[in-house]
Copies of this chain bind each other. A is one copy, B any other.
Amino acid sequence: MKNLLVAQSGGPTAAINATVAGVVTAAMASAKVDGIWGAVNGIKGVLEERFVDLRKQIANTQDLDVLCQTPAAALGSCRFKLKNIQEDDSQFKEIIRIFRKHEISYFIYAGGNDSMDTVDKLSAYCKEQGITDIKVMGAPKTIDNDLVGTDHCPGFGSAAKYIGTTFAELERDCHVYDTKAVTIVEVMGRNAGWLTAASALARNNGGSGPNLIYLCEPAFSIEGFLKDVKKELKEHDSVLVAISEGIKDAAGSYISEQVQSGAVDTFGHSYIAGSARVLEDVVRKEIGCKVRSIELNLMQRCASHIASAVDIQESRMLGMTACQMALEGESGLMAAVERVSNDPYEVRFVGIPVSQVSNQEKKVPRDFINEEGNDVTDKMMAYLNPLIQGEAPVIYENGIPKHVSLY
């Protein structure tokens, strides 16, 4: 008896379930796999033996389609880092005991940096202990697109498509009045500006898109920002600004913390507003025109109703790749996308040692950002464009997309 276990971890995306669908698809197609199990709430659920039978939960190919269009981990998630083996290997012993008890030979873990750390430690432990009949594989996931070793991450393309579309719609919305107004839109990303860059996709069909785009990589200066906004206001009635949640000054301090250090609410709490809200106040005080801030908030990571077809299909392929490679005897790898060319868009699905991936961050290269630090370059657009192509099909019922929870 050889069973397969799949689990999900980290923050939600619109594409993480397509990876599970890919794992299940490859497992269903294999004669080597008996039970196909899901762990609820990631590695935490493994330790608690909270398993669901995915052969029952996903009974046919239509169930796979509904799974692919369901946002956020259908198996639940966790934020849970395994201890260092050198210090305490009890968690690893326990996981292996549980795997043995349930005859689990293949474990696929989809997630971001922390999850790849889990895959790294667990596969290293198996190697160290001479355990060769349990294969541990990773599949990438993060809207932040900050995992190294893969050209891009599942979930990012769909978030980028949502962001590009939303900026195009906001541009129309903000354009209707002939009075001076500034709209500042905050996009997720504490340390990597990939998602904020996606706002430029709003220009794809002739729209002017955001007038200014500030990623979190270059140092942000409030003086420079005000100068840029004033210049744009001279030329346009409506000025649309995209900024990363994590914009920082030259010393590396978050702009939000720096500016509002004195703000307290009625309870005496320090009022931690987002970077857009902080800049809204700066514009109101220093320029005095109509100004509004918007946070794209959770919607940018869970808007599966406008998922990128390329993203969902690649996410599924990465799940299949992780499963397939495990079935072929690999362990300690993360499935990854290698971009062969941009035009035509051509990729290969590969496995890379997960030790090269975990605990690192892929930031936006400097030449993807313009010299002034207030827009992106053609290199960024060439990188982004293939990832948002096509609209993933959505099954609606009663006017609302269908979703599934697996537990």
Q: State the A residues within 8 Å of B (CB).
A: 8, 12, 41, 44, 70-74, 76-79, 161, 164-166, 168-170, 172-178, 183, 201-202, 204-205, 207, 259-267, 269, 271, 281, 284-285, 292, 294-299, 301-306, 308, 385, 388-391, 394, 396-403, 405
Contact B400 A205 (CB under 8 A): yes
Q: Determine which of B166, B302, B308 lies in contact with A303 in the assembled complex, contact meaning CB atoms within 8 Å.
A: B166
Please tell me if the beta carbons of B204 and A173 are within 8 angstroms of each other in the complex: no
| Residue among A170, A176, A178, A391 with most chain B CB within 10 A | A176
List 10 other contacts, CB 8 Å, given A265-B281, A267-B285.
A12-B172, A71-B173, A72-B175, A169-B303, A202-B400, A263-B265, A264-B264, A269-B281, A292-B298, A299-B299
A271 to B269, CA, bound (A): 13
Copies in the complex: 2
Determine if B77 and A172 form an interchain contact, defined as CB atoms under 8 angstroms apart: no
A173 proximity list for chain B (CB < 8 A): 12, 71-72, 298, 301-302
Among candidates B166, B260, B265, B385, residue contacting A399 with C-beta atoms closer than 8 Å: B385
Q: How far is B172's CA from A402's CA once the two chains are assembled, in angstroms?
A: 11
- Given known contacts A72-B173, A76-B177, is B302 in contact with A399 (CB within 8 Å)? no
Residues A176 and B262 in contact, CB atoms below 8 Å apart: no
Query: In the complex the two chains form, is B401's CB within 8 Å of A165's CB?
Result: yes
Across the interface, name the chain B residue whose C-beta is closest to A78.
B177
| A306 and B304 contact, Cβ closer than 8 Å, known pairs A12-B172, A72-B173, A400-B204 | no
